[in-house]
A = this chain, B = another copy of it.
């Protein structure tokens, strides 16, 4: 049974599997000292620009925690949305690993952090009694499936630079944002002033693996040490690298991310025709948020599982994957229409 619960319920892309099989031909140096890792490093530089430094990690928590650890002193605070994955779904890993404060920011109705909310937290600079803000993490696309525009990212990064702070993107679904804005990696990430990104692979069909890409020399300076000590350095590193190589080759990611986004758009369209269910957020990537009758939940989840996002309002999250099909959506909506 397919699922609309999360794109990490989906499996592995055939091109990724082929890449792994192809990488398994011979012995290779461990911990990143192999030819494939070196080769993919260059692919990342082509995509992000020559300033980029790259390390491969196992999962999203590892990518986020390693990323912010590169920016902070132990007396720093890390600003992030109060609905962000780092704040609500990564246990206390950020605190334990960095010793820092996570400072939660309220988001606007689209799930975005606003310039105003950041400014309210850039306070008491130089006051040793208060955690010193040093990095902001935004999620792109946001937890609500909306997408920051390039102008919005630039405005945020400008504000941060003016205050000696860094900008991190949690890009667990970054490819969905890229196709949503029809932007290149360099346009969205390097050129807008992002300093470091958790560049997600798992949710677009990798077996496992994410990348941390750094665009600022301050943050890359001790990257290899922080990478190792975060327990996120794989001995058979080439098997993460080769998966990213497959995704980046001929922009394969575009095809699959586009598909997932299109399925969300299609689902959004179909739902509009159904009364008693209301889409609550702009559908800009691969997620559809909607409020529906509480007594629909069980019956619909038997067709395709999904998460109830807000128990109070019965707002649900319907997340499309690279392998969601129109037929599946049609069937899902048909059942919806049949419900009293």
Contacts and interface: CB of A to CB of B under 8 A. Distances in A.
B91 A229 contact: yes
Contacts of A5: 29-30
A230 B231 contact: yes
Contacts of A11: 23-28, 236
Contact of A96 (B21, B91, B99, B207): B99
A76 B225 CA distance: 9
Listed residue (A9, A92, A128) with the most chain B CB atoms within 10 angstroms of its CB: A92
Interface in A93-145: 93, 95-97, 99-102, 104, 128-132
Contacts of A28: 9, 11
Interface residues of A, number: 72
Contacts of A91: 75, 128-131, 225, 228-229
A24 B12 contact: yes
B27 A3 contact: yes
A297 to B, nearest CB: 17
A93 B231 contact: yes
Interface stretch (A56-64, A251-259, A263-271, A281-289): A56-64
Interface string A1-38: 11101101111100001001101111111110000000
Contact of A75 (B75, B129, B225, B236): B225
Given A27-B1, A27-B2, A101-B95, A59 B231 contact: yes
Nearest to A73: B222
A226 B75 contact: yes
Nearest to A99: B96
A92 B101 contact: yes
A101 to B, nearest CB: 5
A236 B208 contact: yes
Contacts of A8: 30, 235-236
A202 interface: yes
A14 B94 CA distance: 38
B225 A208 contact: no
Contacts of A25: 11
Contacts of A104: 104
A129 B222 contact: no
Contacts of A23: 11
A310 interface: no
A70 to B, nearest CB: 11
A221 to B, nearest CB: 10
A244 interface: no
A147 interface: no
Smallest CB-CB A-B distances: 9 pairs? A96-B99, A91-B229, A128-B228, A8-B235, A75-B225, A58-B58, A11-B24, A9-B27, A95-B95
